Amino acid sequence: MLTLATGNPAFAGNTIGITTDESIVSVHAGQRPLLRYAYKNVPFKPYVQQLFSPGGVNILRDAPADHLHHHALMFAVNVDGVNFWEETQAAGRQVHQSFPDVRTDTETDVENDKRFEMRHASFTELIDWINPSQELLLKERRTIEVRQGTDLGATVLTWQSKFEVPAGKKSATLTGAHYHGLGMRFVKSMDTGGQLRNADGKPGTIIRGDERLVRSTWCAYTANANGKPVTIAMFDHPKNPRHPATWFTMTRPFAYLSATMKLHKQPLKVTSGKPLVLRYAVALWDGRVEADQIEQLYRRWSAK
């Protein structure tokens, strides 16, 4: 077990820590949990199992009975025709290899001539994407960072994935359904009564039923998580391919949000010597947050 912490231990709110055990990575601020990440003893892929607001509200749901392959906050697409989203005998697996970097840090940020202390914890994971025949299709270097600061008012998770084809392989082709990408399933209480918004105020294009696709720099969802209102926003980084992201949204019969690259319409090829880097963020506030506040945090995050 590895445990790291930074900040002033005399003040619980000023301390951020990260613990890695045999199957789970946990991030906490003082005694409050911020994130729980499952990487071993998982059926097909590592994923963020729980994510907590500054007030301690978890908004993620893992493996609900209606879709057992929905693992809270997860990334999955098809690679060379192999499905890494659904979980069947023909599905691929994302296999954990190691954590080459686990750290905590404190830095000073300047916003509108004011200085703020920013605390964050991060870990980098090496993952092999293999097909059912154990053939290596793609290599991923995934970095998850969790950040809190006195001025953010939110828990901010940054997800960065760097994909490379293995030695001896010329390329790998990414495809997928219209919902494949970085997807998020919410706790049951958030399936009803919520409100979806995006940076452009667009309603989106109906794909089927309540499922919509909309291009925008960010997409947000406000709902009650076990009686407590929360707002979640997903951000797409300007350097991502096909920016702004095409967001998949639905609210019936359950709520779901994912950042996609529209792979169902246009495949994306990763070639030898040219890694694919994807960067997203999830910001989580207690209560309802208005669009201008979401936009402000998006611009601040995307500028880095």
Give domain status of residue 5, yes or no: no
Sheet holding 268-271, edge to edge: 82-83, 78-79, 171-175, 268-271
Whole-number pLDDT of residue 15:
82
Q: How far apart are CA 85 and CA 74, in angstroms?
A: 9
Give domain status of residue 262, yes or no: yes
Give domain status of residue 38, yes or no: no
Give domain status of residue 20, yes or no: no
Whether the CB-CB separation of 35 and 27 falls below 8 Å is answered with: yes
Q: How far apart are CA 102 and CA 166, in angstroms?
A: 24
Query: Structure pTM?
Result: 0.94
For residue range 268-296, what is the model confidence (pLDDT) as tens digits?
999 999 999 999 999 999 999 999 999 99
Give domain status of residue 84, yes or no: yes
CATH number of 144's domain: 2.70.98
- Domain hosting 75: range is 66-302
Whole-number pLDDT of residue 116:
64
Whole-number pLDDT of residue 200:
97
Whole-number pLDDT of residue 11:
34
Burial class of residue 240 in the structure, from the number of CB atoms within 10 Å of its CB (0-12 exposed, 13-18 middle, 19+ buried): middle
Give domain status of residue 24, yes or no: no
Give domain status of residue 194, yes or no: yes
Q: Which residue has the tokens 């296999």?
A: 95
Per-residue pLDDT band for 107 (boundaries 50, 70, 90) equals: confident
Per-residue pLDDT band for 8 (boundaries 50, 70, 90) equals: very low
Give domain status of residue 257, yes or no: yes
Residues in contact with 125: Cβ distance below 8 Å, sequence separation at least 6, in sequence order: 39, 46, 96, 97, 98, 99, 141, 142, 143, 144
Number of domains in the chain: 1
For residue range 121-176, what is the model confidence (pLDDT) as tens digits?
999 999 999 999 999 999 999 999 999 866 678 999 999 999 999 999 999 999 99
Whole-number pLDDT of residue 30:
87
For residue range 196-240, what is the model confidence (pLDDT) as tens digits?
999 999 999 999 999 999 999 999 999 999 999 999 999 999 999
Sheet holding 114-130, edge to edge: 93-111, 114-130, 136-149, 155-164, 276-286, 228-236, 218-225, 195-198
**Whole-number Cα distances in Å, 88 to 95, 168, 253, 265:** 16, 28, 23, 24
